[in-house]
């Protein structure tokens, strides 16, 4: 919905992400759960912009753990719209952070 602007569009949208499983990393029970968001915006259906991709969302999730890796990842979409005139489409990535093996 917010991926298209009739006059101008420059958006990054998610396509695929094969995330790690607990067996892939040094998982422990105390691994923190983090969430990261990225979003695209759309105004009046005319303009669309923003980076709502997986890369931006995972980077945001790992901002406090630059050396960590996400595992057991759930990714969701969230849409916020005001009268359909301004729209934000989020990619929300939630997962646990572990050390690399």
Partner 1 sequence: MNLRTHKWIILKLIAILFLTFLNAPELFAEKASYEARAGMISSGGFVLFYNSRGPLSYNTLSPGELPKESMDLGEVQCKSCQHGISIPFISSLIGQKSSSVSGALGDGSFKKALSNLLSQRPELRGIYDVKIDFQKVNILGIYRKLCTEVTARGFK
**What is the contact surface with partner 1 in residues (CB under 8 A)?**
3-21, 23-25, 45, 48, 53-56, 58, 69, 100-101
**Nearer Cβ to partner 1, position 16 or 83?**
16
**Nearer Cβ to partner 1, position 66 or 83?**
66
Q: Compute the least distance from the CB of residue 1 to partner 1, in Å.
A: 9
Q: Compute the least distance from the CB of residue 34 to partner 1, in Å.
A: 15
Q: Compute the least distance from the CB of residue 64 to partner 1, in Å.
A: 17
**Nearer Cβ to partner 1, position 7 or 82?**
7
Diameter over CA atoms, the chain = 49
CB 40 within 8 A of CB 48: yes
CB 64 within 8 A of CB 34: yes
CB 62 within 8 A of CB 36: yes
Q: Compute the least distance from the CB of residue 51 to partner 1, in Å.
A: 8
CB 82 within 8 A of CB 2: no
**Nearer Cβ to partner 1, position 80 or 101?**
101
Distance CA 33, CA 57 (A): 14
- The rounded radius of gyration (Å) of the Cα atoms in the chain is 16
């Amino acid at each position: 919905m917010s991926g298209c602007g009739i006059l101008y569009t420059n958006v990054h949208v998610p396509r695929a992400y094969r995330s790690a499983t607990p067996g892939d990393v040094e998982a422990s029970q105390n691994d923190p759960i983090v969430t990261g968001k990225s979003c695209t915006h759309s105004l009046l259906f005319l303009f669309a912009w923003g980076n709502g991709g997986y890369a931006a969302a995972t980077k945001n999730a790992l901002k406090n753990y630059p050396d960590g890796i996400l595992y057991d990842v759930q990714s969701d979409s969230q849409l916020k719209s005001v009268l359909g005139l301004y729209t934000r489409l989020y990619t929300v990535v939630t997962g646990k952070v572990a050390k690399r093996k």
